[in-house]
Chain A
């Protein structure tokens, strides 16, 4: 891949993104980063709720009160983060003529992604069989919580709740504690987005060979459970659910998160072998507690892990996390400050890899956006455009991509089939 020469694997492909919330939006963005044109499709009556569900614009225009939905829908910093680079088509899918418009677009598309519950797309006449009729080789990907069939097909699913359903929640938690824990954000979404991306790429390869498209059914729960796949083997061979390890490791010892100087400042340290342990002891100035012969082996350190943690934290808490990280790394010991989001933005490594750049959003102004994951380093791939405002590209999409006449587009506008603002009801406040 090389964006500078336009060498991108999905160049020339058209994606229609009818997804809501995060997983599908992130997937669509990654497809764009790999070269595809991505059209985000929403309805003025049912837009992506990410635009409005939370008012995350307390600083926007100095507003103290929540902005009304029709204003905040173009400013939402969640929506704008995960939809950058896309075009927006706003069409009333609930009306037969609106559905026709979408099908005309799909007739030109290579990939269709969505994450509505099965009955929603069936009711709207946008199920795989409907779309296949207008585009036989379409790759139609659905992300759902639990899959398109089976007793749990209609269950609601957002990323955090799905973590409970995956088994990951049960294994999470502080070391030795009876209470489980959930990841502090909607972890199933990005994991499912990456799985879905891989599946689409596989389907594209098959389409090249066979000329045929397919339906792809990705379940968020399955994607999370796969990441703890060894726990299922453990259950079968040992008849137990693995005890909670928290920040510890099955073999590395010590491993943990230790308080450093400053409020809520921490460092993660992993000691993978005896050599790294000896290096750590030297770095601490060989205190008497650390020279106990029992601690010379990983087995001994695992036995005494609580005690080692206490001593270690007494040492780490006197130092600043990043200075300590540098000293530990200098000594060859894996260590990293536990970064908050503000520190993340300033991290020298992420910056050297080109993680972010500023883009100009027509209504919000300067936004910091995250670049493609696929080309990082000194020549990381720049962002071509910010997230679209609602319906911003109706005209472009219908004229240039679908091939409608000016007259036809005008009529659709007049009749409210396409729209450039949302139509909220009190339900949406």
Chain B
């Protein structure tokens, strides 16, 4: 659309070192790679922990065949080192690098000679982002955190799930994903500053902070005393998930105009009843309304509902991993890339989240230590 190179090339001249152990920093590195940066993933000699998390090809644990690794480390180079003993080998690379993204505890960085003051002295324009469960300051800065713990302490879990059941984590590593997105954006923001001023900054990101920041209704509690509750699949008849003949569909008619459009899609005369004439009366007759809408949704298939959705009716069909991979929308957006990995075979890798040429494809996730020779020279070859 413009003469600019696509955003997938925006960081083509940028070198990033990623020293990570779990998802947040790994996501940040992946997004930087999707923007064209050269991202060197620094791994321990036995491989990044996500290589050991799976799920694995045919369920056989193997460090080159973990789906987590094949996705989140796609596009990166791998430097395998005996850590922390060989951490000093990173200094020459960090002198050339533009950004350093890590989740390693500050004490470990200090003892490896990779503290921010040291790196800032060695390479004043370097930007550094440390994304950790609780950040560098505050009483919990030494607390142990996992994705689940950050979702709990960041407030997102208490409102998710059914009212009569325990709070529920959503699938994947969503607290870490949010932390990774923030670390990515924050790193690019600091790259802009460093290029403008010649001086790099350090960004201290807490995943708990990010999770709490991304919470929708907190202001209602803080300012009005209204508490959000777990509300399960269908918080109200006009805003919730309904079963359909072969899956699920979200019905959203929270405003009068959306209600009119929903009625047009459903086409049942019962909905013209005075009980459902206003927002307030629809809420007052919630259960009757829900029963009528459900009687219609279960008579419809996902394909039929998807057609209505595409015409702008307030219905959203639940897709599965398989239906998304086969869907026309992603084909047109070139969002899925079939990437040939030397050990795992052809795997679908999503990305980037922004404009890219149709022929763009990420490099497959790296074999452990594949860039050691190139980055360290023969003297230090390892793994």
Q: Which residues of A contact B168 (CB under 8 A)?
A: 172-174, 181, 246-247, 257
Tell me, in angstroms, the Cα distance from A129 to B170 when the chains sit together.
40
A235 B329 Cβ-Cβ under 8 A? no
A230 B72 Cβ-Cβ under 8 A? yes
Number of interface residues of A (CB under 8 A): 153
Tell me, in angstroms, the Cα distance from A373 to B221 when the chains sit together.
20
Tell me, in angstroms, the Cα distance from A378 to B191 when the chains sit together.
24
Which residue among A49, A162, A201, A266 has the maximum number of chain B CB atoms within 10 Å of its CB? A201
| Contact of B226 (CB < 8 Å), options: A58, A158, A428 | A58
Is B71 an interface position by the 8 A CB rule? yes
Is B63 an interface position by the 8 A CB rule? no
| Contact of A212 (CB < 8 Å), options: B3, B188, B191 | B3
A 143-159 to B, binary, CB cutoff 8 A, 1 in contact else 0? 00111011110111110
Interface positions, chain B 147-187, Cβ under 8 Å from A, are 147-162, 165-174, 177-178, 181-182, 184-186
Is A403 an interface position by the 8 A CB rule? no
- A164 with B192: in contact, given A268-B157, A340-B158 (CB under 8 Å)? no
Minimum distance in angstroms from B133 CB to a CB of chain A: 8
Q: Which residues of B contact A327 (CB under 8 A)?
A: none
- A202 with B10: in contact, given A226-B350, A339-B155 (CB under 8 Å)? yes
Give the interface size bracket for B toward A: 35 or more
Is B248 an interface position by the 8 A CB rule? yes
- A241 with B322: in contact, given A81-B219, A344-B212 (CB under 8 Å)? yes
B10 A203 Cβ-Cβ under 8 A? yes
Is B145 an interface position by the 8 A CB rule? yes
B355 A182 Cβ-Cβ under 8 A? no
Q: Which of the candidate stretches B50-58, B79-87, B103-111, B373-381 sits at the interface with the other chain?
A: B50-58
Q: Which residues of B contact A350 (CB under 8 A)?
A: 208-209, 212
Is A285 an interface position by the 8 A CB rule? no
Tell me, in angstroms, the Cα distance from A249 to B23 when the chains sit together.
13
A154 B350 Cβ-Cβ under 8 A? no
A169 B216 Cβ-Cβ under 8 A? no
| Contact of A270 (CB < 8 Å), options: B1, B149, B160, B166 | B149
Q: For the complex of A and B, list the 8 residue pairs with the smallest distance between their C-beta atoms, beginning with the closest.
A: A184-B159, A352-B138, A161-B316, A190-B214, A341-B221, A81-B219, A171-B171, A268-B152
Q: Which residues of B contact A335 (CB under 8 A)?
A: 144, 149
Tell me, in angstroms, the Cα distance from A215 to B355 when the chains sit together.
9
Tell me, in angstroms, the Cα distance from A141 to B197 when the chains sit together.
27
A170 B321 Cβ-Cβ under 8 A? yes
Q: Which of the candidate stretches B112-120, B254-262, B267-275, B289-297 sits at the interface with the other chain?
A: B254-262
- A341 with B228: in contact, given A9-B190, A152-B310, A349-B139 (CB under 8 Å)? yes
Q: Which residues of A contact B146 (CB under 8 A)?
A: 249, 252, 255, 270, 272, 334
Q: List 17 A-B contacts (CB under 8 A).
A: A49-B255, A152-B329, A172-B168, A180-B233, A182-B233, A187-B174, A194-B185, A201-B188, A202-B7, A214-B355, A217-B355, A244-B171, A257-B157, A336-B145, A338-B158, A341-B222, A352-B137
Q: Which residues of A contact B366 (CB under 8 A)?
A: none
B 295-332 to A, binary, CB cutoff 8 A, 1 in contact else 0? 00000000000000111111011111110110011101
- A355 with B212: in contact, given A184-B159, A194-B181, A195-B181 (CB under 8 Å)? yes
Count of CB-CB pairs between chains A and B under 8 Å: 485
Name the residue of chain B whose CB is nearest to the CB of A132.
B2
- A150 with B332: in contact, given A205-B195, A230-B72, A345-B222 (CB under 8 Å)? yes
B186 A232 Cβ-Cβ under 8 A? no
Is B266 an interface position by the 8 A CB rule? no
B227 A340 Cβ-Cβ under 8 A? yes
Minimum distance in angstroms from B348 CB to a CB of chain A: 5
Is A416 an interface position by the 8 A CB rule? no
Interface positions, chain A 208-232, Cβ under 8 Å from B, are 208, 210, 212-219, 222-223, 225-232
Interface positions, chain B 47-84, Cβ under 8 Å from A, are 52-55, 57-59, 65, 67-68, 70-72
A205 B248 Cβ-Cβ under 8 A? no
Is B217 an interface position by the 8 A CB rule? yes
Q: Which of the candidate stretches B38-46, B89-97, B198-206 sits at the interface with the other chain?
A: B198-206
